[in-house]
Amino acid sequence: MREVFVASDNIFSPLGRDSAVNFEQLQIGRSGIRQHHKSKTSAHSFYASLFQDEVFDPGSTYTKFEQALIYSIEDALKRTRLDARDDKTIFILSSTKGNISLLESGELDNGVREKITLHHSASLIANRFGFIHQPIVVSHACISGLLAIITGMRMLQRGLYKHAIIAGADIITRFVLSGFHSFQAISPEPCKPFDANRKGITLGEGASTVILSVDANMGKSDVQIRSGSVTNDANHISGPSRTGDELHHAIRQAMEGAEIGASDIDFISAHGTATLYNDDMEARAINLSKLEHVPVNSLKGCYGHTLGAAGLIESVVSIHSLRQNLLIPTVGFSEIGTVEPIQVIDKMQSREMSTCLKTASGFGGCNAAMVIVKE
């Protein structure tokens, strides 16, 4: 099986325009979450991590969603030797909602119908960079970003391509926010992952890119995506499994694929949405996997839940954590509140590390787990 290297990456978020700046902000405990009063998005004030309006060009032919993706991809590409027009390169787009905000205009003509489709945005971006092959779209609820990386890894391992440019983004709109409000899932304060007083999700905007390559000379080559697995619990359209068995199964398969055991994992980057059921399910899965002794963090208190970008952003932070041997704390957490004990990271820690387990779960009962290794 071919080795798959992380050649380059980017995080474009309210905390910064590249991965290095984002990681610096995390080290000093910064969060992008603020209280907002945006009548076009909600009749009431709400907490979220949102881009400032001036970040985007209102006169651009690209939407905010597409502009965020383009910026992120451009920044990641310039840190590699990769030619985007290489016929051994595949582009994978991850998102849950894409241009869904276009529906809020009240018009639904043929032009809008086309523009709201994810394959339309993927084609625009592919043309912008000159990607040769038809892009792949991954839209699988909140595991989309992680599943996109796993998809790219598998394609490279099997020799279908040599390089994969994987980018994800989502923008918070009235449609998105009202949807989570309908589930009574939005926290009235900044979210508190795994905390005894957690009250729900805080949403966030962001884009992120990971460039994978089987060529160790294409960019950085000290970190590899070693293995990944996806499962589904078929429990409920919005509620996760009550047992954690299915996420545990994904974790076990990912660990077996990477040929590692529980003692080899240095930390877990969890989904950690700060909802009652998700955090309990993850805690159960971690215990079933015999990983209750392993340090765990959630980045939702820093970025909010960035939906289709979450798995990518959190994987990139994990990659930089491994490189710098730093464990990022879980902002918002103060007292464990899960049904099973887990070791939630509550302060910055420095230690030698080589292996991270990244997990994600989402609506419809989907689960994903991925092993990231620093050589």
The pTM for the full model equals 0.97
Task: Count CB atoms within 10 A of the CB of residue 343.
Answer: 16
Rg (CA), the chain: 19
**Pair 149, 166: CB distance under 8 Å:** yes
CA distance to 27, 193, 297, per residue, from 348 (Å): 7, 16, 11
Sorted by where each starts, the structural domains of the chain and their CATH numbers stand as: 5-213 (3.40.47.10), 223-374 (3.40.47.10)
What is the C-alpha to C-alpha distance for residues 89 and 373, in angstroms, rounded to an integer? 23
Q: List, for residues 266-316, the tens digit of each pLDDT value.
A: 999 999 999 999 999 999 999 999 999 999 999 999 999 999 999 999 999
Nearest-angstrom CA–CA distance, 343 and 82: 40
Residue by residue, pLDDT tens for the chain (375 residues) are 799 999 999 999 999 999 999 999 999 999 999 999 999 899 999 999 999 999 999 999 999 999 999 999 999 999 999 999 999 999 999 999 999 999 887 777 888 899 999 999 999 999 999 999 999 999 999 999 999 999 999 999 999 999 999 999 999 999 999 999 998 899 999 999 999 999 999 999 999 999 999 999 999 999 999 999 999 988 788 788 889 999 999 999 999 999 999 999 999 999 999 999 999 999 999 999 999 999 999 999 999 999 999 999 999 999 999 999 999 999 999 999 999 999 999 999 999 999 999 999 999 999 999 999 999
